Every structure is written in C-alpha cells, then in structure tokens.
C-alpha cells in the first residue's frame, strides 16, 4: 500500500472503488422524470373528417370542400381545476391533412391555441380557439382563398366512448380576414372526430 504524498513529490491519484456503485431511488426517479414533460404534454390524437360544409361565418362558399386530417392536442402548464375535478386549461391543437375541392387537393397544416373547459381527465371537453393555417394552394375552381396563409377559428366538443377512445364534433372556419383583399371567400367545415386519449 502506497502512502499519499510520499516524499512530498508523488501526486495523489484519485482512488477508484472496485465495488459496483448503485444509484439510490431518488436519483433514478430524477432521471426517469426527464422524459416526463414529453410524455405528459401529449393529451390526445384524433382522426377528423368533414361531414358538412354548411356556412356559418362569412359569405357562402362558391365550391364544396372536403377536409381529412390528423390532429394532435397538447397540454400546457396553464390550467385551473377545482376539487370537483372540473375546470379549464389551455391546449395547443396542431393538424396536418388534405383539403379537396373542385378536383384539386391541397396540403393543410394548422396550429391553434385552445381554451378548453371540462373534466380534468379530459374525457368531457368543450373548447374554442383561434390560430393559423397554411395551404399548399389557395385556388380551387371558381373559389380563391386569397393566399396560402389563412386564419383559423374553431370550436369543438368531445365525449368518451370506451377505454381511451372518444368521439367529438369540431367546427372549423378558414378565412383570410381580408388581408389579401375584400373579395376572397373562406370556408366552414363541420367535422367528426375519433379521439385517442393518453
């Protein structure tokens, strides 16, 4: 066995244990929790399909449109729930899908913040929000959306079915809000949702 600092000229080396080092439970939990924000931020996924284009806001659409998409709903830190389990929170809805009209198809991407009211487990929800959408084309036959960017307004309601599945209705409105001119027409969509909650 060598003594540290022998002759005051030999440097002390760090001692290395020959025994395995086991992490305590708290440190292991801390490492596991590093993935928690990503895992818990996703609230639900939904497949959506338009079943009606009855006009609600703005002028009557010149063409009939169909939209099919996949939407992801994300939780946020901003929420308020009472001890009864009911309250409100802020969510983010993102979607990607296709818009079809007059034999033309466009890719649609949207991002819409939502204010949601309902149960804390997310099974019963009433939400509304406003955001934006990008279209890969804006002319469909006789109808012109005006430009590739559109403002998006939405409102929806969802209920549980069984297990982690739910069903919902969503109203969605696209409009350029006259930023491309006063003569462009938007569109309204009434959509059914099949929802999987995490």
**9 in a domain, yes or no?**
no
Residue-level pLDDT at 40 = 52
Q: Quote the pLDDT of residue 71.
A: 98
> Rounded distance, CA 132 to CA 152, Å?
5
**Which domain, by its residues, includes 98?**
42-197
Residue 58 has pLDDT above 90, yes or no: no
How does residue 61 score in pLDDT terms, banded at 50, 70 and 90?
confident
Cβ contacts of 121 within 8 Å, gap of 6 or more = 85
Q: Is the pLDDT higher at 182 or at 170?
A: 170
pLDDT at 39 over 60: no
Q: How far is CA 137 from CA 26, 134, 159, in A?
A: 53, 9, 34
In a domain, 150, yes or no: yes
Q: Is residue 114 part of a domain?
A: yes
User: Is the residue at 12 inside a domain?
Assistant: no
Segment 74-98, tens digit of pLDDT: 999 999 999 999 999 999 999 999 9
Report if residue 49 sits inside a domain.
yes
Cβ-contact 154, 46 below 8 angstroms: no
Q: Contact at 8 Å (CB) between 196 and 167?
A: no
**CATH code where residue 155 lies:** 2.40.160.20
Q: Does 184 reside within a domain?
A: yes
**What is residue 2's predicted lDDT score, i.e. its pLDDT?**
43
Range name among 11-25, 102-116, 160-174 with the lowest pLDDT average: 11-25
Among the listed residues 84, 162, 76, the one whose alpha carbon sits nearest the alpha carbon of residue 127? 76
8 has a pLDDT exceeding 50: no
Q: Is residue 90 part of a domain?
A: yes
In a domain, 15, yes or no: no
Q: What domain count does the chain have?
A: 1
pLDDT at 184: 84
- Separation CA 137–CA 174 (nearest Å): 13
What pTM did the predictor assign? 0.76
Q: State both tokens at 57.
A: 């806001």
SS (H, E, C) the chain: CCCCCHHHCCCCCCCCCCCCCCCCHHHHHHHHHHHHHHHHHEEEEEEEEEEECCCCCCCCCCCCEEEEEEEEEEEEEEEEECCCCEEEEEEEEEEEEEEEECCEEEEEEEEEEEEEEEECCCCCEEEEEEEEEEECCCEECCEECCCCEEEEEEEEEEEEEECCEEEEEEEEEEECCCCCCCCCCCEEEEEEEEEEEC
The whole-number pLDDT of residue 53 equals: 81
pLDDT at 163 over 70: yes
């Amino acid at each position: 066995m060598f003594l540290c600092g022998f002759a005051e000229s030999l440097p002390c080396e760090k001692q290395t244990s020959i025994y395995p080092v086991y992490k305590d439970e708290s440190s292991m939990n801390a490492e596991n929790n590093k993935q928690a924000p990503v895992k818990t931020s996703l609230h639900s996924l939904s497949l959506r399909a338009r079943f009606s284009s009855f006009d609600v806001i703005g002028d009557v659409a010149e063409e009939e449109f169909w939209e099919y998409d996949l939407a992801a709903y994300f939780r946020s830190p901003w929420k308020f729930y009472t001890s009864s389990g009911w309250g409100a929170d802020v969510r983010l809805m993102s979607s990607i899908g296709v818009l079809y009209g007059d034999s033309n198809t466009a890719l649609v991407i949207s991002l819409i913040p939502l204010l949601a009211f309902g149960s804390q487990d997310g099974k019963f929800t009433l939400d509304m929000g406003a955001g934006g959408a990008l279209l890969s084309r804006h002319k469909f036959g006789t109808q012109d959306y005006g430009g590739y960017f559109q403002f998006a307004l939405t409102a929806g309601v969802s209920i549980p079915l069984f297990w982690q599945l739910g069903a919902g209705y969503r109203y969605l409105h696209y409009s350029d809000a006259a930023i491309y001119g006063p003569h462009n027409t938007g569109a309204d969509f009434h959509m059914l949702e099949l929802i999987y909650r995490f």
